[in-house]
Amino acid sequence: MTYETLDDDLVNELLDNGRASLRSLAEELDVSVTTVSNHLSDLEEEGVIEGYTPKVNYDELGYDVTAIMQLKAEGHALPEITETLRDHRQMISVYEVTGDYDVIAIGKFEDTDDMNDQIKTLITDPDINQSNTSIVLNTVAENEQFELETDDD
């Protein structure tokens, strides 16, 4: 193990198993536990690693419908609209984007009635000029992260 790639290798190990212990990470990376701990602390301080969260299977929790909303909005209202969407508990992603629409939001819903009720409430803002909602038919990949390239690869 070379220290030049240690941070990337550490991130990649955590992507594979976010619950790995410092000891198992140290063994896998062939460095001391103290080295792993120090590098991990640095990565957290630098904002590279922002937290450790579980991957939730929303289908198993009864949220069977995923909807993608595309919104055109008045420019001055964009911050307020995105904040409203962000604060909505069932929106899992909100993006300001370029192109035909200004905002893309992805939400999880129990069923189409739940989705319909929630979206109607969300898009009643008069500063939303147009909306387009798509229902996901099949999830191919979701919440995927990619490994960092290292010189070892």
Reading the chain (153 residues) residue by residue, the pLDDT tens digits are 567 789 999 999 998 888 999 999 999 999 999 999 999 999 999 999 998 888 889 999 999 999 999 999 999 999 999 999 999 999 999 999 999 999 999 999 999 999 999 888 888 899 999 999 999 999 998 888 888 987 755
Give the chain's length: 153
Q: Can you read off the two tokens belonging to residue 16? A: 């594979």
Task: Give residue 2's pLDDT.
Answer: 61
Task: Give residue 79's pLDDT.
Answer: 96
Report phi then psi at 107, rounded to 5: -130, 160
Task: Give residue 153's pLDDT.
Answer: 53
Task: Give residue 16's pLDDT.
Answer: 87
**Which listed CATH number (3.40.50.300, 3.30.70.920, 2.140.10.10, 3.30.2010.10) goes with 59-136?**
3.30.70.920
Closest CA to 128 of 68, 87, 86, 69: 69
* Domain locations in the chain as residue ranges: 5-46, 59-136
Task: Give residue 25's pLDDT.
Answer: 96
Task: Give residue 10's pLDDT.
Answer: 94
Spatial distance between the Cα atoms of 71 and 81, rounded to a whole number of angstroms = 10
Task: Give kind and range of the element (H or E) at residue 72.
Answer: strand 65-73
Local structure of 1: helix, strand or coil: coil
**Which listed CATH number (1.10.3470, 2.60.40, 1.10.10, 3.30.450) goes with 5-46?**
1.10.10
User: How many CB atoms lie under 10 A from the CB of residue 125?
Assistant: 16
**Single pTM value for the model:** 0.81
Task: Give residue 123's pLDDT.
Answer: 84
Q: Can you read off the two tokens belonging to residue 42? A: 């640095």
- Give residues with Cβ within 8 angstroms of 77, minimum separation 6: 125, 127, 128
